[in-house]
Structure 1
Amino acid sequence: MDFPEELKYSKEHLWVRVEGDRAVIGVTDYAQVELGNVTSVELPEPGDELEQDDSFGSIEARKTVADLYAPLSGTVLEVNSELGTAPEFVNDDPYDGGWLVVIEMADAEELNLLMSAELYEDTVSVSED
């Protein structure tokens, strides 16, 4: 499993890549493995406001449907529209082609509440035991 060090991670298994005052958000490699084959993704619209820890969409796989919880507060700038016709990108390339949304962060201090790659890896390896 892959845990890129430059990313931050939420307890709800989403990753965050900071790009200035923007954050790209996606589903972790661990989460996509646990979900199985992703069949659809429901995402917010550009301009929608996200509040940290609130649901902002859902992801459906053959095994289950799971809510997506915002790792950060902010305004949605972009959504990955390719996931509408190719949700398998979440499985095939979770850290690049499978990204979900780009937001303008409302409060960069919220990044301090997220986990480092090392801590996230430790957290998910404990949950597998």
Structure 2
Amino acid sequence: MADYAVVVMAAASRHCGAARVSAGQLSEETGLPAPTVQKIVTRLTSAGLLRSSRGVGGGLKLARPAAAITLADIVEAVEGPIALTACIEQGRAECTLEEACAIRPHWPIVNEALRGALANVPLTKLAETAN
């Protein structure tokens, strides 16, 4: 879902400053099925990345400038916290190596590096058209 969310947000950002856009329009522009776009839009709106309004003139808009929205924001909106492994979270231990794992103390560093890399990619960059 994260990859589709990036596609939807990039399409929405191209409408920035213009009239609001509907989920149906985003579906047409991206080629994604309407139910998928609606599900993604709901998550992105709940996460505060999109703003939705109903009625005449209603639709979707970015909740903040595209430059202030990152790839990390989008991924976390639909997938939750960014991590290569969830074993470091309390109550999420599903690994048989948990008690003897020498790498477990280092996962937070790895996960933060991954999140930091994604946080350095602004939506404006993702919305650029390729040459």
* Structure with a larger share of its residues in helix: 2
Do they fold alike, i.e. is TM over 0.5?
Answer: no
TM range (shorter): under 0.3
The TM-score normalised by the length of structure 1 is: 0.27
The TM-score normalised by the length of structure 2 is: 0.27
Bigger CA radius of gyration: 2
